[in-house]
Structure 1
Amino acid sequence: MSAREFVVLGTASQVPTRHRNHNGYLLRWDGEGFLFDPGEGTQRQMLRAGVAAHDIHRMCVTHFHGDHSLGLAGVIQRINLDRVPHPVTAHFPASGQKFYDRLRHATAYRETVVIDEAPVTGDGVLARTPGYTLSARRLSHPVESFGYRITEPDGRRILPERLRQYGIQGPDVGRIQREGALGAVTLEQVSEHRRGQSFAFVMDTRLCEGVEALAEGCDMLVIESTFLDEDAHLASEHGHLTAGQAASVARDAGVRHLVLTHFSQRYTDPAAFERQALAAGFDGELTVAADLLRVPLPKRH
């Protein structure tokens, strides 16, 4: 199993269909799991996808429309029922605190797990760890909505031929990585710069600066494409994107892998979203999401 993969739990928009559950997505990032926008039915989709409550470390809600948040109640109760052994953090728009409170305490249950609340109040960094930085940017939707981005710090890639050149082997390899030097040999002499990976999650929004900022240079961009291009007027009216608009953002931002999702029930041919994304000039890797699909993050450059 990939240490970094994106698991699709649901891909519908406001109305689920026979083949598409309401939204729900899990990003596996090394030893942590980020659950994004758990809509109604997410708990059952987790079971079908092989995702356990123990896999969740952070829950990231973009906004409080039902197709993005009604499953939160069941997921939180499952986290407590399964006695998840680590703290879980919930990120959500601060303006939706009353909705979060209602969902968290929708029914009676025994609370056994610490769930930290970290409401999002504006653009900026939400969490910083040795393995990633989690940040948020405001989007353009009828209710307050935020997109999320996970960015890995840049690092160094060890070059075996350089190690051999300087006679470095065994435990000394780890030592030069930790300490930055071994005698007169520096880490820079036996390695090269490695750009950190990045992942962005963009749901319900019109085109705006936040979308562009989240997508910039991303290895994987998961983005809504609720409408096809011929219905761009509906997309603008309701605060959404078309397939062509989403692909144009990815094209201009240099995205490596574009994942389209959040499809209106009015469309029955997923291939139409692919055709319009390609017509917009996106030439990277493209996935039209389907429920229960698993998508590995691109390999590092």
Structure 2
Amino acid sequence: MSTRELVVLGTASQAPTRTRNHNGYLLRWDGVGFLFDPGEGTQRQMIHAGVSSHDIDHICISHFHGDHCLGLPGVLQRLSLDRMPRPVHAHFPAAGIDFFRRMHHASAFEEVAEVRQRPIERGGAVVTGEFGTLEAVPLDHRIETFGYRLVEPDGLRMLPEQLDRFGVRGPDVGRLQRAGSLRVGDRTVALDQVSEPRPGQRFAFVMDTRLCDGVFELADGADVLVIESTFLDQDARLADEYGHLTAAQAARVAAECGVRTLVLTHFSQRYPELRRFRDEAAAVFDGELVVAEDLMRVPVPPRR
């Protein structure tokens, strides 16, 4: 059975706390793993969460501020220590390629794993596979920053009652899907007679940005939106000055873009009561709302 879930490894912003590690998020998507923004301590958080280095196929860095990337040296070295048998693709802003190279070889180690660098110049589709397409979209922070979106292509949902009606059974179902039509007895059955459109699912990851067109583009129609909410709305001026979002702004994006599950994260240590983030967001967004905690798992909701 396929698994689609977000494993939260860390939820703090610039400074970690006693209960919140720096950023880190692993998306499990039908056997493919996407590790987003591995901040300091990510390797140890993976152990606590029951995540193996072999679960990682893609590493996605939004930008090169330390709380989003200083765990990278440990993760890359762990891939070699664990003898990762397949290539791992690293996606990151091209402007930070020197930072990536320095962290890749921050200390001496026996490099066994193959890490393929995929610097991002302008955004758009960065990799396509059976999982769909991983896209990058520019955001508005103090340094070059990209958000990411995983888009599954639209497909078809087979209708059992229609298949039964037309006598399509067993291996013939697969033949019909591949060919688009199938001769059954004395008639031809078309695929659209026994199926209906099935929208592909979407996952969006938005870190460290002011409100901008890119935020709304990434969030549009997302089944899960993981989004920074560093500040509360009372500090909206500070949020804009430092290139961040408030909980209310994140919720507004989710509400306007038809998001199904909103995951707030990247909280400033200045706020001891995170219940306020939930209250502020819930006043704007009435969908599924998660205030992220370290080591929690958030399932991608079932298909519409």
Quickly name the TM-score band, shorter chain normalised: over 0.9
CA distance in 2, matches of 1:279, 1:2: 34
CA distance in 2, matches of 1:286, 1:272: 13
Count of equivalent residues: 300
Counterpart in 1 of 2:62? 62
1:256 maps to a residue whose letter is R
- Alignment of 1:298 with 2:301, yes or no, is yes
Mapping 1:68-147, distance limit 5 Å: 68-147=68-147
Counterpart in 2 of 1:37? 37
Shift of 1:236: 0.4
Counterpart in 2 of 1:199? 203
Deviations 1:199-258 (A, max 9, x none): 000000000011010001111100000000101011001000000000001100010110
Cα distance 1:140–1:219, how it changes in 2: closer, same or farther (>3 A)? same
Contact preservation (8 Å) 1:2, 1:296: no
Contact preservation (8 Å) 2:2, 2:31: no
CA distance in 1, matches of 2:177, 2:139: 40
TM-score by length of 2: 0.97
Match of 2:219 among 201, 215, 218: 215
- Alignment of 1:266 with 2:270, yes or no, is yes
CA distance in 2, matches of 1:160, 1:172: 13
User: What SS does the corresponding residue of 1:157 show, helix, strand or coil?
Assistant: strand
CA distance in 2, matches of 1:249, 1:85: 40
- Alignment of 1:236 with 2:249, yes or no, is no
Shift of 1:195: 0.1
CA distance in 2, matches of 1:77, 1:130: 27
Shift of 1:131: 2.4
1:43 maps to a residue whose letter is Q
Contact preservation (8 Å) 2:263, 2:289: yes
TM-score by length of 1: 0.98
Deviations 1:10-56 (A, max 9, x none): 00000000110000000001010000000000000000001000000
Identity of aligned residues (%): 63
User: Is there any run of 5+ residues in structure 2 with no aligned partner, and where?
Assistant: none
CA RMSD of aligned residues (A): 0.9
CA distance in 2, matches of 1:84, 1:136: 26
Counterpart in 1 of 2:27? 27
Deviations 1:56-97 (A, max 9, x none): 000000000000000000000000110111110000000001
Counterpart in 2 of 1:148? 148
User: Is there any run of 5+ residues in structure 1 with no aligned partner, and where?
Assistant: none
